[in-house]
Structure formats: C-alpha cells, structure tokens
Chains A and B, each alone.
Chain A
Amino acid sequence: MLYVLKRLWKYGLGTLPRDILLETKTIPAPYAPGENNASSAYQGLMDDAEAEELRRLRRELPERIRKAFGRSLHIRHLDAGSSNACEWELTALLNPVYDVQRFGIDFVASPRHADMLVVTGGVTRNLEAAVRSTYEATPDPKLVVAIGDDACGTGLIGPTYAHYGGVDRIIPVDVYVPGNPPRPVAILQGILKAVEKRKG
C-alpha cells in the first residue's frame, strides 16, 4: 500500500495501474541490492535509466501527439535494405513491454494512411523505386524518420554499386536515429522528436 502511495506521489495518477501491474510481476533476480539490474521496471530486465526514460516517454508522447495531430499518430514502416535488426526492434515496440499503442501510436499497412514514415536501411538500388513511390504515396505533411546507422548514412557498408548508403540521398529526412540497431526506447525518442518538429 505504501508502495502504491509512493508511486502515486512520484508519477501521478495516469501511469499508475499499468506500473503496478508490471511491477507485481517482478521476480527476484539473482542480483545483490544496489545493483541496477534487479530493481527496474519490468521483471528486473531494463536498466533504471532506460525504464525511467520509457516512463518519461509514456507521459510526454501521448500529449505531444494529441497536440500536433489532434488524434493518434499513424506510422508506416519502410524497409529500404536493412539488416533485419531494425525491423525486429520496431516489432518490439508492439510487444507487451513497450506496447506503443497505449501512446496513441499505430503501425499501418499503407503509406496512404500514414503521418510518418520510418525508414530502415540505407536504400538499395533495387529498392530505390519502391522507396520513392512509398514517399510519394504518403500524404503531405509527412514526417520521415531514418532508423539505424545505415539509414542515417553513417553505417559500415556505405555506398556500393547496389547500395546508396543513406536515406537522405533519396528522400528528405526529418529525424535521424543512430544505432546499430537503435534500442526501442531510442526509436521512441526519435518519434517524439519528429512529432515536436511537426508542431514547430
């Protein structure tokens, strides 16, 4: 009970039920007290900084999205030749731990339904036409977020005969999320940054 009150004090009402739900499932991990592995948000799995960041995003993102769009944010994923890791991190955003649908974010099946494109991979030559037509099919005003080092143009592969090595060489990019691949929380930070940009 004391615990519940403490959390109420710290994080406010809005986040309470889910937090409690998650934290009651915490299992005693084999770590000494004081080490950061045992004490975090979900089953002692995330480290404290990341869990705290996720909580911050949980407070800020829905509000920002509502302000910028007046409704939920619809994202279309576009693979421009990535190594599959970024895809799985985007999929992880939909798992019960991150569960971005509670933030008012959804992944949609068509660019015509999307406010934002998240692009993974550095655009292969074989996909260039598909990337361009997906970009054109997305209604204006649109946001483009490049996910991962290759998409940002800082990857190891770089330009080859089959690879452009950067999304911004083909379509304009609003926000870059570096990482190889970026962690799910970093992707959410990138999405938040893009949403803020839309407001300004």
Chain B
Amino acid sequence: MTVRAARHFCLFRCKNSNPDLRRLVLHDDFPDGVYPLRKDYRADRVEPRVPRREFTFPKVEGDGVFEIPVGPIHAGIIEPGHFRFQVMGDTVLHLEAKLFYTHRGLEKRAEGMDIEEGVRLAEQICGVCAVSHALSYSQAVEGIAGVEVPERALYLRSLFAELERLYNHVGDIANICAGVGFAYGSNHGARWKEALMQLNARVAGHRYLRGTVVPGGVARDVTDRQLDDIVHTVVEVRDNIQQIVHDVLGNPVAHDRFKKTGILWKDIAVKFGAVGPAARASKIDTDARRDFPHAAYPRLRFEVPVLEDGDVLARFIIRALEVKQSAFMIRQIAANLPGGEIRVPAGKLPAGRYHLGITESARGENVHFVMTGPGNTIYRYRVRSASYANWPVLPYCVPGNIVPDFPLINKSFELCYSCCDR
C-alpha cells in the first residue's frame, strides 16, 4: 500500500524489512542518495532532475479489465493526487493512490526555526485544520517548557477548535451531498459553512482561525458580545443543519447512494490505525478529546458518537451528530468562560528536550513531535496528521464499488492532501 509504506520514511535512509520500496515522498526524478532529513543536508538544496524511473502500479489483468489513471491535477477545485483504478465494466477491482505531490518539506524547513515562529509554520501544514495543528504544536512546546496555560486560554482553545470542527463538518455534509449531485444539500450546506466562516472572521479576524493559538495560550480574546454572536450563530447553524440532514436522508436517491457505499470494515480500520470520524463510523470508539484530554475538554460534557456500519451513510450521520455535540460544547464554553490571563510566556526552552502534542481535529488526531535545539530553536519536527493516518484505508473501501462512487467515498473521508504530504 502506497501511503502505508511511506511510514518507513524515505527522507532518512533506513534499512528495514519494508516490502514496498517504491519512491513515495521524493518522486521518481530525485537522484538516489538524497535524504533531506539528515542533519548534514541543507534545507534549500536544489537537487538535479534525473531521468524518471518507473513507479510501478500493481496490475489486474484479464478479459475486459481496464486501467483508468486520474490526476495529479483533478477536474474540480481540489488538491493534487494520482489514482489508478483497475476496472471491469463500472466496478473497481483495485485502486492505488500515489500521493506526496504537495510535499513542501515543512519538517525540514522547521529545523532551526525559532520556537515561537514555528507555530505559524504548523498552521501552514493544512488550511482547514489550522487550529488543531497550532494547538498540537503549542502543546508539545508547553510540554517542553513546563508552563501552565491559563484557564481562560484553555477554554478559548476549545472554543476555536470546536468552531473549526463545525465549519469543517458542515462543509463536509455539503460536499457529500455534492458527491451525489444533490444540489439542495450542497448549496444549503455551503451557505451555512459560509455563515460559520464569516463568524470566524468576526471573532478571530481570520476565516480559517489562523493566528489564534500560540505557545503559552491564545493570541486572541473574545468579548461577551462576540460570545453572544457565536452562540447565536452556532445554534442557528446547528438547527438548520439538522433540518438539512433530515431532508437529505429522507430523499430515497441520496439515501440509496450513501447506504452500503465505501464500507470501511472495522478490522481494516484497526490494522491501519484509522482515526477521527471515519474510525468512529466503523465502530472504533476513539476520540483524542476524551482519550488524551487537552484544552478545556476535561471540563466539558460531551458524548462521542460511534456508529457501526462504516459506510458513507454512517460517516455522513456521524458528522451531523458531532455538529450537535460541538454546538453543545460551545454553549458550555460561553456559559462557563473564566476570566483572567489568556497567555503566559513560554520562556527559554532547554535544548535537546522533546515532547508530543496530541489534539483532535475535524479529521482525527493530529500528533506533533517537537525536539528543541540550542538557542530556542526547533531541532526536529515531525507531524503525523489525521489525513496521513486515514489515507491508507481509503483504497480498501473502494473495490467493489462503481467508479462514479469514488468521489463520494473520497468526500466522505474528506482527507486533506497537504496534511498528508506536508
């Protein structure tokens, strides 16, 4: 499996028993012997291009079997990735993904960077999980520094994280409807997503909530007026989304397309360590907000919905259920927001220490590893994003389905390419 094998990272040189030695992160025209994450490698080195070597895709052969290559540039407004379908008629027999087209070398770029500045880079990993990535990074840094984050900042972090989850889930609900060409759901969902984006802009000054979370606390406070605005908007979005979901599921065509499409079996999900809503829709009870308590989540009441079917329908419904939970949490935060400081200085960090930061984004847990170097800099930075964990299970959900259902299955996972490729 393409992405799975990438965990045996070819940015270092390690000999291991990995059966899949294809070039994944550094594509086929990088010279041999390039290992960017080694310390003697300069981050901005320009590598010559060598003649392309073949990237082999497994082939299914036989009468009436065809291969469909798709990408890396897709027809819609989405990110780049290459897919190879082996099909017989309309049915997919095998799917292989080639990713890492948007690999920007962020982990290498971070090395030597100032710790405070690193959080800006963490936000660049992914546009739509910016809060979660910044939070993971900040928690890792705070773990090294050993600082206590003020209570108000913890609540505000949860507030921003839930606002991020909300706009993602509402957008995903719209997108899944778009995957079956159901304009009612996609347009109404897009409209409410825009309402949430503009709420973000009013509250935090940024539609994607970048620049809110920093090591030692948060950079933006909210006023009581803004809290009223947040609760008012969020409750309205929640009510409307419940109505939209109800209408979508009442439509037999949409329901038929969702049901039993792209099933993620529990054993596959467990084997590959799937996370987030995709795992929770496949009977895996996992949620970093509860399992690795962070921000103000230990002080908030919420339920973790878990469904059994593992199909597109389950992933659709689980998002609707989580929208409810997020709105509930935001109301609790607004009611119980304590006063006081919102930020403490992280101070000078000792060199050679490391720590993990784990948070739950709208796609699952984001894990950041930060190790400090001399002079308050980053020595090594490693990101295991939720999309990185979930990409390997996607090709297992597609075989047996028809080709036109692939966009729908893909959208129901809502995997981010840049999160995975970094």
Contact = CB atoms under 8 A, between A and B. Distances in A.
Contacts of B197: 92
A16 interface: no
Contacts of A134: 73
Contact of B77 (A47, A77, A181): A77
A154 interface: no
Given A79-B80, A107-B77, A160 B195 contact: no
Contacts of B41: 161
A156 B124 contact: yes
A95 interface: yes
Given A30-B225, A158-B109, A163 B104 contact: yes
Contacts, number: 157
Contacts of A72: none
B103 A84 contact: no
Contacts of A130: 72-73, 80, 101
B406 interface: no
A149 to B, nearest CB: 9
Q: How large is the interface on A (under 10, 10 to 19, 20 to 34, 35 or more residues)?
A: 35 or more
Given A95-B193, A159-B44, A124 B77 contact: no
Contact of B418 (A77, A83, A97): A83
A37 B230 CA distance: 12
Contact of B108 (A27, A45, A160, A180): A160
B229 interface: yes
A157 interface: yes
A121 B73 CA distance: 13
Contacts of B130: 85
B232 A29 contact: yes
B36 A161 contact: yes
B27 to A, nearest CB: 5
Interface of A: 27, 29-31, 37, 43, 45-47, 77-79, 81-92, 94-98, 107, 109-110, 121-122, 124-127, 130, 134, 150, 155-163, 180-181, 183
15 contacts: A30-B229, A45-B195, A81-B103, A91-B77, A94-B190, A96-B187, A98-B194, A127-B80, A157-B124, A158-B44, A158-B109, A159-B44, A161-B41, A162-B103, A181-B208
